[in-house]
Amino acid sequence: MTRVRILALTTAAVLLEVLPLVAAHGHQHQDASMDMKSEVPPPQVQDSETAQTYWRLSEHAAAMYWHIGLEVLAWIFILPVGVLTAPFTAPISANMIRCNA
């Protein structure tokens, strides 16, 4: 590979890595004034007896169980077979990526 191609691929990889951070923080500074003296009320904290976790959201429970099942399938069964069998490494790695996505 030439140096230009390596530099282009490295730059593209870095930009793709930084893109989610930029997209996540894109709407924070919409006004031009940077007045740090303004009073911002503290966020309201709800006191509850039970902890607020994802497991308490019943509408997403099935998705969480499917996610856990696919992760176990990928990391415990598919990955070791792919590592141990050299001719099938690429197809098995592709199946593991599919399971993790």
Q: How much is the pLDDT for 61?
A: 81
**pLDDT tops 60 at residue 82:** yes
- Under the banding of pLDDT at 50, 70 and 90, the label for residue 25 is low
2 assigned to some structural domain: no
The model carries a pTM of: 0.39
Q: How much is the pLDDT for 94?
A: 82
Percentage with pLDDT > 90 across the chain? 0
Query: Please, what sign has the CA dihedral across residues 80, 84, 88, 94?
Result: positive
72 assigned to some structural domain: yes
18 assigned to some structural domain: no
71 assigned to some structural domain: yes
Domain that holds residue 66: 60-101
Which residues 6+ apart lie within 8 Å of 93 measured at CB?
82
Number of domains in the chain: 1
